[in-house]
Copies of this chain bind each other. A is one copy, B any other.
Amino acid sequence: MTRTAVIAGVGPGLGESLARKFVAEGCRVGLFARSADYLEDLADDLGDDAVAVPTDITDPEQVEAGFRAVRDAFGPVDVLVNHASGGSWQGLREITPEEFERAWRVSAAGALLCSQAAVDDMLAGDGGTIVFTGATSAVRGREGAIGFSAAKFAVRGMAESMARELGPEGIHVAHVVIDGGIRPPDVDESDRDAAAYLDPDAIADSYWHLVTQDRSSWTLELDLRPHVEEF
């Protein structure tokens, strides 16, 4: 089975690892992000199974055009990863209403637009998979990060609501709680401190497991953290 996937919010790190993993498993992948240059380089590197689609996911028209571009290249979408995230590290006393809104718009409103576009394809086909990238702040509101906490909680609420609505229709909705820092590209796997980070390629293995789960045994939520993480 050849799947078409959209990764909304690709960047160096986990988004890129997801793209590589999905292509390695035989998917064709549409890459969404605002930065055209980065996307083009990544798509070139991934070859014929990837297409760069510069998209501001907070803009309904751009999202629609982005999905059209992926369908034109690879056919209907089977897999969506809502991976974009925003939010500054500010508490109630520092954050502006605009920053609070921005965190919600990128994480939650953008995911709504992408999910609505993808679900049409999935319902017309054989179902599909939608994975949301969450964080510890989706299950435990973080001091000094009110915008990020509110946005990540909102996304988790969306994912649960969608899982209940769409599961019986054959669409698997899952939410991944990433608890810890993802290893930055400039930290080598063999570095002494590398153990403190989640390896983005290892995270991608668990996303792929979610995509391949049999519909008799779907996971709504799993958490991921380094073995040395205190939690």
Interface residues of A (CB under 8 A from B): 60, 91-93, 95, 97, 100-101, 104, 108-109, 112-113, 115-116, 119, 137-138, 140-146, 149-168, 170, 172, 183, 194-195, 197-199, 201-203, 205-206, 209, 212-231
Give chain B residues whose Cβ lies under 8 Å from the Cβ of A119.
Answer: 92-93
Chain A interface secondary structure, helix, strand, loop or mixed?
Answer: helix
Specify which of A150, A183, A213 lies most central, judged by the most chain B CB atoms within 10 Å of its CB: A150
Chosen A-B contacts, 15 in total, with CB atoms closer than 8 Å, are A91-B165, A104-B108, A108-B150, A141-B161, A141-B164, A143-B165, A151-B157, A167-B227, A199-B214, A199-B216, A202-B216, A203-B217, A206-B217, A218-B224, A220-B223
Give chain B residues whose Cβ lies under 8 Å from the Cβ of A158.
Answer: 141, 146, 149-150, 153
Instruction: Tell me whether B214 and A218 are in contact (CB under 8 A).
Output: no
Give chain B residues whose Cβ lies under 8 Å from the Cβ of A167.
Answer: 227-229
Instruction: Tell me whether A206 and B226 are in contact (CB under 8 A).
Output: no
Give chain B residues whose Cβ lies under 8 Å from the Cβ of A60.
Answer: 97
Minimum distance in angstroms from A106 CB to a CB of chain B:
13
Give chain B residues whose Cβ lies under 8 Å from the Cβ of A195.
Answer: 215-216
Instruction: Tell me whether B226 and A215 are in contact (CB under 8 A).
Output: yes
CA distance A220 to B205 in the complex (A): 16
Instruction: Tell me whether B141 and A163 are in contact (CB under 8 A).
Output: yes
Known: A100-B112, A146-B161. 9 other contacts (CB 8 A): A92-B116, A92-B119, A93-B165, A108-B154, A143-B164, A146-B157, A146-B165, A150-B157, A219-B224
Minimum distance in angstroms from A199 CB to a CB of chain B:
4
Residue in contact with A142 in the complex, picked from B149, B161, B183, B219, CB distance below 8 Å: B161
Minimum distance in angstroms from A61 CB to a CB of chain B:
11
Give chain B residues whose Cβ lies under 8 Å from the Cβ of A109.
Answer: 97, 100-101, 104
Contacts A141-B157, A157-B153 given; does A226 touch B216 at CB 8 Å: yes
Instruction: Tell me whether A160 and B141 are in contact (CB under 8 A).
Output: yes
CA distance A190 to B90 in the complex (A): 34
Give chain B residues whose Cβ lies under 8 Å from the Cβ of A229.
Answer: 167
Minimum distance in angstroms from A102 CB to a CB of chain B:
11
